[in-house]
Amino acid sequence: MDGRIGRRAALLGAWTAVASLLAGCSGSLRTRRVTAAVLEVEGVDGCELDSSVSGTFQRLLHGRIDLGSDDRDVAFETYDEAMRAVVTTLHDGEEDDGNITVGGIMGFIDGAEEFTVRDLDPDMPVEDYRLDRVTASTLYARYGLT
């Protein structure tokens, strides 16, 4: 019996590695497209995004957007437009790109985290939600997408 459990664990590990590699391949192209869209937003000084797969095989897009203004209101508007670029690029991508978690994309002013998607008030079913539950599609209404 222990031999079967060991083989199953090894097989599960192999499938996890393959799924991660496959997600990384398609994810890297997607990440490059999204990064390029964000860098086109006026006021964005830099963008470092990465994609990964969670332990439950959920696709994640996470990283930082460096905002050029020291004025918090202007920086927030820039972050909002940058996230519009993220969500719109994903919306226009593959059919299931709306399911990609974007809650890990933070806005930074002078190297300090200032904004998260929570500041954008996504359409969430509960009031107290975790950022790793915010998918691109939860921001569709904010940006006029369906």
pLDDT in tens, 69-81: 999 999 999 999 9
Q: How confident is the model at residue 4 (pLDDT cuts 50, 70, 90)?
A: low
Task: Tell me the C-alpha distance between 108 and 38, whole Å.
Answer: 14
Residue, of 27 and 103, whose pLDDT is higher: 103
Sorted by sequence, the CB contacts under 8 Å of residue 59 that are 6+ apart come out as 23, 27, 51, 52, 53, 99, 100, 101
Task: Tell me the C-alpha distance between 108 and 134, whole Å.
Answer: 19
Task: Tell me the C-alpha distance between 19 and 115, whole Å.
Answer: 31
Strand, coil or helix: what is 103? Answer: strand
**Average pLDDT of span 54-59:** 88
Strand ranges inside the chain, DSSP E = 44-53, 59-67, 101-109, 112-115
Average pLDDT score, the chain: 85
Q: Is the pTM of this model over 0.85?
A: no
Q: What is the pLDDT of residue 100?
A: 95
Q: What is the pLDDT of residue 122?
A: 83
Sorted by sequence, the CB contacts under 8 Å of residue 63 that are 6+ apart come out as 47, 48, 49, 50, 104, 105, 106
Most confidently modeled range among 17-21, 23-27, 80-84:
80-84
Residue, of 15 and 60, whose pLDDT is higher: 60
Sorted by sequence, the CB contacts under 8 Å of residue 48 that are 6+ apart come out as 35, 63, 64
- Of 26-30, 108-112, 133-137, where does mean pLDDT reach its minimum? 26-30
Closest C-alpha among 117, 93, 99 to residue 59:
99
- Asked if 124 contacts 83 with a C-beta cutoff of 8 angstroms, the reply is no
